[in-house]
Structure 1
Amino acid sequence: MFQKVVPVNKERHASKKIKEVSGFGFASNFHIAYVTMQEFARAASIFPIVFLEDKDKDEFRPVVLLGLNAGENLFVGKDGKWQASYVPAIIRRYPFALTAAGNDGQYVVCIDEESPLVSDTEGAPLFNEKGEPTQVIENVKRYLAELQQMDGFTREFCKFLQANNMFTPLNMRVREASRVKNISGCYVINEERLNNLSDEKFLEFRAKRYLPAVYSHLISLAQTERLVKLHEDAQPAAAAAEAAKAPAKKSAAKQ
Structure 2
Amino acid sequence: MTEKTLPAFYQKPRPIHAEQDANLALAETANYLFAASSNSVPLVAAEFTLACKHFPILFADGDKPLPVALLGLRSEENLFVDVEGKWQASYVPAYVRRYPFIFMENADKSEYTLCIDEAAPGLVGDGERRLFNDGKPTELLDNALAFCRDYQGHHAFTSEFVEALAKAELLVDNRADVSLATGQKLSLAGFKVIDEAKFNQLPSEEFLRWRERGWLHLVYCHFISMSNWAGLIDLTAEQGKS
After TM superposition, the score normalised by the length of structure 2 is 0.92
1:139 aligns with 2:147: no
Instruction: Quote the offset at 1:124 in angstroms.
Output: 1.5
Measured against aligned partners, the alpha-carbon deviations of 1:219-242 in whole angstroms (never above 9, x if no partner) come to 1112111111000000111xxxxx
Determine the C-alpha separation between the residues in 1 that align with 2:70 and 2:140: 30
Match of 2:77 among 56, 66, 72: 72
Q: In the aligned structure 2, how far is the partner of 1:66 from the partner of 1:171?
A: 16
Q: Which residue pairs with 1:150 in the alignment?
A: 154
Percentage of matched positions with identical amino acids: 34
List runs of 5+ in structure 2 lacking aligned partners.
1-8
Q: Which amino acid aligns with 1:138?
A: D
The reply to whether residue 90 of structure 1 matches residue 95 of structure 2 is yes
Shift of 1:12: 1.6
CA distance in structure 1 between the partners assigned to 2:236 and 2:169 by the alignment: 33
Match of 1:229 among 227, 234, 238: 234
CA distance in 1, matches of 2:128, 2:237: 38
Q: Which residue of 2 aligns with 1:9?
A: 17
* SS in structure 2 at match of 1:13: coil
* Aligned counterpart, 1:36: 44
| Matches of 1:128 and 1:121, distance apart in 2 | 11
The structure whose Rg is larger is 1
Aligned residue for 2:104, secondary structure, equals strand
- How many Å separate the matches in 2 of 1:49 and 1:232? 21
- The secondary structure found in structure 1 opposite 2:66 is strand
Q: 2:6 maps to what in 1?
A: none
Once the two structures are superposed, residues 36-91 of structure 1 have per-residue CA deviations (whole angstroms, 9 ceiling, x without a partner) of: 1111110111100100122xxx3110001100001101001112111001000000
Which structure has more helix as a fraction of its residues?
1
Relative to structure 1, the CA distance from residue 21 to residue 204 in structure 2 (aligned partners, 3 Å threshold; closer, same or farther) is farther
Q: Supply the AA of the counterpart residue of 2:151.
A: L
Matched length:
233
Q: Distance in 1 between matches of 2:118 and 2:38?
A: 20
State the distance in 2 between where 1:96 and 1:2 align.
9
Counterpart secondary structure, 1:142: helix
Worse-superposed segment, 113-122 or 222-231 = 113-122
Q: Deviations over 1:6-56 (max 9, x none)?
A: 1101122111112245321111111001011111110111100100122xx
Show the 5 A alignment for 1:106-125: 106-125=111-130
One-letter amino acid matched to 1:174 = V
Residue 183 of structure 2 corresponds to which residue in structure 1?
178
Q: Which runs of 5+ in 1 are unaligned?
A: 238-255
